[in-house]
A = this chain, B = another copy of it.
Amino acid sequence: MSVHASLDQIPVMGGLDDSPRGRVLRAAAHLFRHQGYERTTVRDLARLVGIQSGSLFHHFESKEAILVAVMEEAIRYNFSRIQDALARAQTPEQRLRALVFGELESILGPTGEAMAVLVYEWNALSPSSQQRVLKLRDEYEACWLGVLEELNKTGSIAHPPFFWRRLLSGAIAWTSNWYRPGRSLTLQGLTDMVMAMAVPKQDC
């Protein structure tokens, strides 16, 4: 939760190697998450990476490009992971669980900082960058909608999938603000709770 002084203490963000580019993105996700994008200077970022601020601009066109890359990398990496899991699931409810678990993992695991940046620094993006990122996001949301519609048809979910997804989305995203792993609640337990919200069991 606190801001670290060395990159080594920051979890290796999923899918990012130790290339300069990867190191910058990891540091950026961390700082943007904990200090905010505007309050993070390129000097802060360079210091954490261990280079000079001018050198950042050999790897990225601008500070905003770094923000965009953090967001895109996070979406892409998690989307592909979740698609794999989806492919392995066999029932609609298993698919929903895969989505819930996958989204929780993306938010609470190694890509958590990047995902939080995606939420909290959304309007630091220029309109055109928002467009770019939105495209990726829409693909991903379409998955959710597909699964929820299946469940809606079978009667497991009573409410309009679009709205229901958004409520769940909020519940899941917010976990980054309170959930701490290694406590009484495991990621599986948390998934159970969210599933209990998503698909109320009417077991009589």
Contact = CB atoms under 8 A, between A and B. Distances in A.
Contact of A175 (B120, B170, B203): B170
A185 B190 CA distance: 29
B175 A172 contact: no
Among A170, A178, A190, chain B packs the most CB atoms within 10 A around the CB of A170
Nearest to A162: B178
Contacts of A170: 170-175, 177
A153 interface: no
A169 B34 CA distance: 21
Nearest to A190: B163
A180 to B, nearest CB: 12
Among A123, A178, A197, A204, chain B packs the most CB atoms within 10 A around the CB of A197
Nearest to A159: B193
Interface string A101-135: 00000000000000000001001100000000000
A174 B173 contact: yes
A52 interface: no
B167 A185 contact: no
Interface of A: 34-36, 38-39, 120, 123-124, 158-159, 163-164, 166-175, 177-179, 185, 190, 193-194, 196-197, 200-204
Lowest 9 CB-CB distances: which A-B pairs, in order? Answer: A170-B174, A204-B204, A200-B200, A38-B38, A171-B171, A167-B171, A170-B171, A170-B170, A197-B197
